[in-house]
Amino acid sequence: MRIAFVADPLESLDAGIDSTVGLMHAAQDRGAEVWVTETRHLEAVDARARATARRVRLTPCAPAGGVRWTVPDPWFTVVASRRIWLDETAAVFIRTEPPIDQTYTAATLILDLVDPARTAMVNDPRGIRACSEHLLPLRFPDLIPPTAVTADAGTIRAFLAEHGPAVVKPVDGFSGRGVLRLDEGDPNLPSLIELSTELGARAVVVQKFLPEVGSGNKRLFVVAGEPVGAVYRFPADGDFRIGHPSARAPVTARDREICARLAPTLLANGIHTAGLDVIGPHLIEVNLTSVGALRKADALLGWTLCADLIDSVLDTREERRSA
Structure confidence at residue 178 (pLDDT): 81
Percent of the chain clearing pLDDT 90 (strictly above): 89
Model confidence at 222, in pLDDT bands (50, 70, 90)? very high
pLDDT per residue over 42-56, tens digit each? 999 999 999 999 999
Q: Tell me the whole-structure pTM to 2 decimals.
A: 0.94
| Domain ranges for the chain | 2-124, 132-144+213-287, 146-209
CATH architecture of 146-209: 2-Layer Sandwich (3.30)
With the C-alpha atoms ordered 316, 320, 322, 323, is the resulting torsion angle positive or negative? positive
In total, the chain counts a number of residues equal to 323
CB neighbour list of residue 37: distance below 8 Å, 6 or more residues apart:
4, 5, 6, 7, 51, 52, 53, 54
Structure confidence at residue 238 (pLDDT): 63
| Res. 235: pLDDT tops 90 | no
CATH homologous superfamily of 132-144+213-287 equals ATP-grasp fold, B domain (3.30.470.20)
- From the number of C-beta atoms within 10 Å of its C-beta (0-12, 13-18, 19+), residue 157 rates as middle
**38 and 10 in contact (C-beta within 8 Å)?**
no
Domain boundaries 2-124, CATH class: alpha beta
- From the number of C-beta atoms within 10 Å of its C-beta (0-12, 13-18, 19+), residue 185 rates as exposed
d(CA 282, CA 252): 12
**138 and 97 in contact (C-beta within 8 Å)?**
no
